[in-house]
Structure 1
Amino acid sequence: MSHSEIPAGAGKRVGSWRRKLAVGAWVFSGLCVLGVLGTVLMVVYGSGESAEHTKPCCWEAHVTPEWAAKTMGFRVPATAVDRRAGLHTNGQYDVALLAFTVTTAEADRFLKPLQPEGTQLVRNAHPEEPGYTRSDGFSHLGLPEPETFVEGMRMGGLCRGDAKTLEGEAVRFCTDIYAHEFQPGTTRIYLWAGSDAAIDKPTP
């Protein structure tokens, strides 16, 4: 077919089709770019939001072993040494920590009235790996986490009123108890108390 035989308007139709194809390609590319940018923004925002919810917070200042013992409801033996305490707070729950070292005989006298009737402290059958830490744990106090010990470790726990003794009634929060005889005749007591309600902060 010669140029003179090309139907009138055919060139316009081809040009129009090409323009539409080019415009469509640009639109598609633009949508792809917007989609990628949207995804990136969602990931960045989501990561920031997740980090905001999971960031470690907060170890309170002015926490003393005396304050912790009174707040948690424990009477620490007068002979206790190496007393350490902490208070960790976040948006979900607060944790009070107290640790001290006594003779094993004194530890047994401290622990007995905190054991609900018919129960006893148990061995750590499922220890954590050495070096294990937790955001609200005793590593903050410069101590290994008690869950990592097996030899010489006894564990238990109670909530207020579980033990029908004056000591058991005085406990204010549900508390995990660890007693670690780290050398013959010497035991470190670890007390980890969690509360869904805010624990009153110590004052300077």
Structure 2
Amino acid sequence: MNRPTTAAPWQRRLAIAAGVFAGLCTLGVLGVFLMLTYEWGQPADAEGRACCWEKNATPEWTADALGLRVPETATDRRAGLHSNVQYDAALLTFTVSTEEADRFLQPLLREGAQMARNRHPEKQGYTRSDGFSHLDLPEPETFTEGMRITSVCPREANTPESNALGLCMNIHAHEFQPGTTRIYLWAGSDAPLPKPPT
């Protein structure tokens, strides 16, 4: 009677070890591939600050996209539109007299609402990929002296200016010297915003 041949115990262990090793190698290669894919999708710091900004987002186009009328007396107007897979962010900033800044802001605020002081500032040098450092300005979150902050959404105030707003926005008003204020407007949207004309 012929007995069926069976693998010796050491051969069985070797086969199991080889299978485990091959599985671990496959997982390792897959892990490296996923890590490289993620790294390639994340720009480096210098590239990250330059990434995803639309080229032709002028202050006039951005103000129109936000539904705002910038005071005619405004100087040093700057704007940007940052687009990524999660959200779009529109930025607009300009400088006016503090009196003009108050006239611009008042119709956007709810009745009786007051802008708050920045009681929890970020450290100097703080930046964000979708922030005002792209416009060669310090981030407004770093200021405390002379800084007032609020957020507004369309139709929160019963005014034509509030009704014309297209997006909710964060507002920083920084009186960086007596009688002169820089307005910072940052509006984010989960839905893609229209792109400026080329």
TM-score range (shorter-chain normalised) is: 0.7 to 0.9
- State the Cα distance separating 1:159 from its structure 2 match: 0.8
The structural deviation recorded for 1:115 is: 0.8
Q: Which amino acid aligns with 1:39?
A: L
Moved more, 98-107 or 40-49: 40-49
The structure 2 residue matched to 1:30, chosen from 18, 24, 38, is 18
Whole-angstrom distance in 1 between the partners of 2:114 and 2:142: 20
Aligned residue for 1:40? Answer: 28
Tell me which residue corresponds to 2:156.
162
Task: Tell me by how many angstroms 1:161 deviates.
Answer: 0.2
Give 1:136's aligned amino acid: D
RMSD: 2.1
Note the 1:54-73 alignment, pairs <5 A. 58-73=52-67
Residue identity in the other structure for 1:183:
Q
Matched, 1:174 2:162: no
| Residue of structure 2 in register with 1:143 after alignment | 137
Amino acid at match of 2:196: P
The corresponding residue for 1:93 is 87
Q: State the 4+ residue runs in structure 1 displaced beyond 3 angstroms.
A: 48-57
* 1:102 matches 2:90: no
Gaps of 5+ in 2: none
Count of aligned residue pairs for this structure pair: 188
Partner of 1:4: none
If the length of structure 2 is used for normalisation, what is the TM-score?
0.86
Query: In the TM superposition, what is the alpha-carbon distance from 1:153 to its structure 2 partner?
Result: 0.8
Between structure 1 and structure 2, the one with the greater Rg is 1
Deviation at 1:52, TM superposition (A): 6.4
Quote how far apart the aligned CAs of 1:35 are.
3.0
- Determine the C-alpha separation between the residues in 2 that align with 1:37 and 1:133: 40
Identity of aligned residues (%): 54
TM-score, length-normalised on structure 1?
0.84
